[in-house]
Amino acid sequence: MTTVLPARRSTTAYTTARGPRPSTGPTLVEQAYEHLLAMLMSLEIAPGERIAIDGVARQLGMSQTPIREALSQLEAERLVTKMPNVGYRASAQMSRTEVRDLYTLRQLIEPYAAARAAESMTDESIAILQAIDRDMSSVVEGDVRAYSRFAEDDATLHRLIATGSGNRLIAETIERLHSHLHIFRSLYRTNAPEEAAREHRIIIDALVAHDPVAAERAVRTHLERSQERMDRVLANLPPAPAP
């Protein structure tokens, strides 16, 4: 069965946050990477599921070589794993300990990144932030499309903060963390859009005001509350099977 990828609602925000594409267009490896990443993030490739390289190659109309190179990149980001005599699989669902460790790391770097981003917000970034705020404010709890809409805006906001920090290593780390967290949230719908939107508005207001102290405090508070929401979900999950 041919997999149809979900269309992005706002390529402008995505391109601005990640940086403009070269005028010659993406390479075959970049195309394969974005395709596979989208399938992992949307759960079209579920955690633990085998990835058929020949099928992806047919779907994209390219050889298996760029597919394998893209999978090597995703393996480095721990989004897929390579199994002897089997090939590549999507990484297994994060454990409770891994989720909590992830939040600990976020608390160490994201408030700092927000403070630095607040000092360097451009007019273009501010316009994107204000559009995100309007979009998040329109999300209604219980709307079947609310989660995917909110998740995309959430990713764009945190990506803007990451790149706005001016620190490439921090930006790359935050990007990887959010990829793993997004997959977990997609499985268990933990975002609470209306509550989180209020927290995001405080972050956005601080960034727009170029207030590093307020931005750092707002992100720290948001992460604490987000972890509380995640902990409630984790408490209700069945115990992980023994290895």
- DSSP, res 8: P
DSSP H helices, the chain, are 11-18, 28-41, 53-60, 64-76, 96-120, 123-137, 146-164, 168-188, 193-208, 212-235
Token output for 49: 């599921």
Encoded amino acid at 145, one letter = R
Q: With contact defined as beta carbons under 8 Å apart, do 199 and 215 qualify?
A: no
* Residue 43 burial (C-beta neighbours within 10 Å; 0-12, 13-18, 19+): middle
Q: Left, alpha or beta for 143 (phi > 0: left; psi -120 to 50: alpha)?
A: beta
Token output for 144: 């079947």
Unique residue bearing structure tokens 């859009």 = 193
- Say whether pLDDT at 65 is over 90: yes
Strand (E) or helix (H) holding 80: strand 80-83
Express each pLDDT in 94-125 by its tens digit: 778 888 898 999 999 999 999 999 999 999 99
Q: What whole-number distance in Å separates Cα of residue 115 and Cα of residue 165?
A: 8
Residue 140's pLDDT is 59
Interhelix angle 212-235/96-120, rounded to 10 degrees, is 160
Express each pLDDT in 76-97 by its tens digit: 888 899 988 889 999 888 778 8
Token output for 47: 């955690």
Q: With contact defined as beta carbons under 8 Å apart, do 92 and 48 qualify?
A: yes
Report for 4-8, 16-20, 53-57, 83-87: range of highest mean pLDDT: 53-57
Band of pLDDT at residue 196, cut at 50, 70 and 90: confident
Unique residue bearing structure tokens 């990713």 = 155
